[in-house]
Structure 1
Amino acid sequence: MADDLRKGLEGVLVAESELSSIDGDAGRLIYRGYAIEDLARGASYEEVLYLLWHGHLPDEGELAEFTEAMAAEREVDDDLLETVRTLADAGEKPMAALRTAVSMLSATEPEADADAADLEASLRKGRRITAKIPTVLAAFERFRLGEEPVEPDPDLGLAANFLYMLTGEEPDEVAAETFDQALILHADHGLNASTFTAMVIGSTMADLYGAVTGGIGALSGPLHGGANQDVMEVLMEIDESDLDPRDWVEQATDEGRRIPGFGHRVYNVKDPRAKILQERSRELAENGESKWYEITTTIEEYLTGEKGLVKKGIAPNVDFYSGSVYYQLGIPIDMYTPIFAMSRAGGWIAHVLEYQEDNRLIRPRARYTGPGDEAFVPLEER
């Protein structure tokens, strides 16, 4: 029957998970029962990784051991770095370079022969992948600038260390906390396209390198991971124009342009993650340049207030504020989606391991709509 078909699997229940839950009408997101607001404001990214992978928040001893183990895995093999250098010199896009690098990481995996059903070995693999992705991305950006990579600092947390490796300068407290929050906010979000892709790969009992590489591939598509870059490009276009942001948006929408960062497949109200990043954007503005915060808030007030988009279920999503926040942190625009992957890798790994605990190969069906009784004609008669 025609109504059995749900394009894009919209609303189709395919799994049960204890990892994250989204209430799109209330604008609520939880990780393992904890409100995203509490985690973003009170925990570190490492604590959230531990929560997603182990099922509970760590105590001080568990966190210290986990953080130390993560930091010890940050270094990347020289051969892989040379590959990253080659990709940067060739002008490869950051997401494509990351996809290649993560796949190549498996070549130096010390437990490559461990069975995918070995949970402890898989957790160690996940730890290595998540620890090394920031090193790969920072090195790629340094190579593009004609500079050498900065070695990771084991005394810095994952977020602060990435900014340090990217710029060569240790970030201040506000920048480090802001980026750490951004990583927490992007760590997991239900069965989005990239998470589902990773889970499908994991359901074949492939290893985590294959699953994470697949997740990166799915996230690289413009319908999934590129919205924050689109937002920043629009903000820069507005800034370079002579128009007030309200006038620019009105003119753009009259011309049929869509303003990126508004609307979400799941949320009908303002994304709770957007609220948190808006706060950080304001704090960054107080310590530096304020125009990006002013432009974004003006656009939000215009579209949600004067234009009433919220009544239509269209509200700011996380990308609307993450773009300007990353820009204020000095992160190149085309690195925004790779940073998304850097954070979401933790969620991909959690979902793969959770699903593999009670695994069943994911194998949906398609309704055939082609011809049914074509007569075969031999080659010489066609």
Structure 2
Amino acid sequence: MELRKGLEDIAIKETSITYIDGDLGRLYYRGYSIYDLASFSNFEEVSYLIWYGKLPTQRELADLKSHLAEERNVSEEISTFVSKVAKTANPMDILRTAVSMMGLEDRREEGLVTKAIKITAKIPTIISLIQRTRRDQKFIEPDPSLSHAENFLYMINGEKPDLNFSKTMDVALMLHMDHEMNASTMACLVVASTLSDIYSSVVAGISALKGPLHGGANSEALKQFMEVESPDQVEKYVLNKLSTGHRLMGFGHRIYKTMDPRAKILKDYAREVTEGKPTERLYKVAEKIEEIGIKILGKRGIYPNVDFYSGLVFFSLGFDTDLFPTIFASARVVGWTAHVDEYLLDNKLIRPKAIYVGDLGKKYIPIDERQ
């Protein structure tokens, strides 16, 4: 039996959801290029595409938008819980528990996608409740007249966002929506394969995403930019970091051997939302780190990934840095639930093997005879 650590290059299912060409740096949702979707589409339309396998008609899109807007409010029990722990607990722990509470409250017999819509609609409300409670700010009720991305920013910042900010948020969420068989999606499928419920699967996904090797890298990339005072100090910073055995955060990917297309798209939005603002210095530092990093690491196939610019984008839009993984989860829940739905069409319990390397036939020694 061959040992493949991390299940690298092992396929566990067929999918029509997402295709990644790591060598050419291409990403497709249901056959549509991520560049086209980022340019012309929006969160709700791409969610419909991923859940239902096709682009919606005007009526179908309007129905989904209405359904998402209707489901944004959370119960008083969840609201009370989040408010009590917001200032002391890890945001991903809060989100994980709140989604578990949703499962306790939802006893209706409904389709998986219907439940997925509920979870997707409520997560931004939970995130905004965390941030505003910690800042001693009054909670902002969801506004059903706003789009998913607009409402998310409205609940965070207390004012309706301009077109540039809402489009940036919309695209950032789209880019994080799915990425084939990553660690958190795999965690969701392991749970789903036992025929557990969708809330338990999403809780597993959130738990996996909490890890710094998966969902926490964008905040680390942002901290990197904050450590450098100006672009002319970047080369010294990068050389020192690499020579002392440290990684450039936001660089490298298991699949991409060129620049992550999501990073290319987010770079443009990071430039736009920082222009003329205090965060513009961070963008210029990031751009220089990208340039120097590619010059040194690109020959080894190590390039910026989605985390490199996403933290800067989320920070510029008004989010606290430790909330970044929760924003990631708020988008990736669409992909998680779509993959669960797809896998259950031809379910097989996920049960891999391990290669035993211990001893056999040991003699049992009674406890009073052990030294």
TM-score normalized with structure 1 length: 0.94
Match in the other structure for 1:377: 365
Give the secondary-structure state (helix, strand or coil) at the position aligned to 1:21. Answer: strand
Offset from partner CA, 1:253-302 (integer Å, 9 cap, x none): 22222110111111000000000001111222335342222111111111
Amino acid at match of 2:253: H
Indicate if the aligned counterparts of 2:25 and 2:259 stay in contact, CA closer than 8 A.
Answer: yes
Q: Label 1:354 to 1:287 Cα distance change in 2 as closer, same or farther (>3 A).
A: farther
Equivalent of residue 265 in structure 1, options 254, 270, 273: 254
Cα offset for 1:381? 3.5
* Count, aligned residues: 369
Q: Cα offset for 1:248?
A: 1.7
Cα deviation per residue 1:132-155 (whole Å; 9 max; x = unaligned)? 000011001111112231100001
Pairing 1:330–2:318 present: yes
- Letter aligned with residue 127 of structure 1: I
Q: Name the counterpart of 2:10.
A: 12
TM-score of the superposition, structure 2-length normalised?
Answer: 0.96
Match in the other structure for 1:294: 284
- Look up the SS of the partner of 1:159 in the other structure: helix
Conservation of the 8 A alpha-carbon contact between 2:72 and 2:121: yes
- In the TM superposition, what is the alpha-carbon distance from 1:310 to its structure 2 partner? 1.5
Name the residue aligned to 1:43.
Answer: 41
- 1:117 is matched with none
Partner secondary structure for residue 63 of structure 1: helix
- For the pair 1:99 / 2:103, whether they are aligned, the reply is no
Where 1:29 maps in the other structure, the secondary structure is strand
User: Which of 99, 106, 115 in structure 2 is aligned with 1:109?
Assistant: 106
Whole-Å separation in 2 of the counterparts to 1:320 and 1:72? 34
Matches within 5 A, 1:355-374: 355-374=343-362
- Answer yes or no: is the 8 Å Cα contact 2:156–2:318 preserved in 1: no
Could you tell me which runs of 5 or more consecutive residues in structure 2 were left unpaired when the two chains were aligned.
none
Deviations for 1:239-259, whole angstroms, at most 9, x for unmatched residues? 3x7962222222222222211
Cα RMSD after superposing both structures: 1.4
Partner of residue 242, structure 2: 253
Matches within 5 A, 1:217-366: 217-239=207-229, 244-286=233-275, 288-289=277-278, 290-305=280-295, 307=296, 309-366=297-354
Paired AA for residue 251 in structure 1? N
Q: Please give the secondary structure, in 1, of the residue aligned with 2:50.
A: helix
Following superposition, the deviation at residue 380 of structure 1 comes to: 4.0
In structure 1, give the amino acid aligned to 2:357. Answer: T
1:173-192, aligned counterparts within 5 Å?
Answer: 173-192=163-182
Matching residue's letter, 2:115: K
Q: Distance in 2 between matches of 1:331 and 1:144?
A: 12
Task: Tell me, in whole angstroms, the C-alpha distance in 2 between the residues paired with 1:276 and 1:162.
Answer: 21
Identity percentage of aligned residues: 46
Distance of aligned partners of 1:156 and 1:110 in 2 relative to their CA distance in 1, 3 Å threshold:
farther
Question: Unaligned regions of 5+ residues in structure 1, if any?
Answer: 115-119
8 Å CA contact 2:231, 2:285 repeated in 1: no
User: Which residue of structure 2 lines up, in the alignment, with residue 22 of structure 1?
Assistant: 20
* TM-superposition CA deviations, 1:192-243 (whole Å, max 9, x none): 000000011111111110000000000001111111000011111113x796
Partner of 2:111, secondary structure, is helix
3-state secondary structure, aligned to 2:127:
helix
1:53 lines up with 2:41 in the alignment: no
Confirm or deny: 8 A CA contact 2:231 2:288 kept in the other structure: no
Structure-1 separation of matches of 2:236 and 2:111: 56
Q: Note the C-alpha offset of 1:94.
A: 0.6
Question: What is the CA distance between 1:371 and its match in structure 2?
Answer: 1.1
Deviations 1:106-149 (A, max 9, x none): 122141xx3xxxxx621111110010000011001111112231
Deviations 1:177-205 (A, max 9, x none): 00110000000001000000001111111
Q: Which one-letter code corresponds to 2:164 in the other structure?
A: V
Deviations 1:54-88 (A, max 9, x none): 01011111100110011000000011110001111
Equivalent AA in structure 2 for residue 206 of structure 1: S
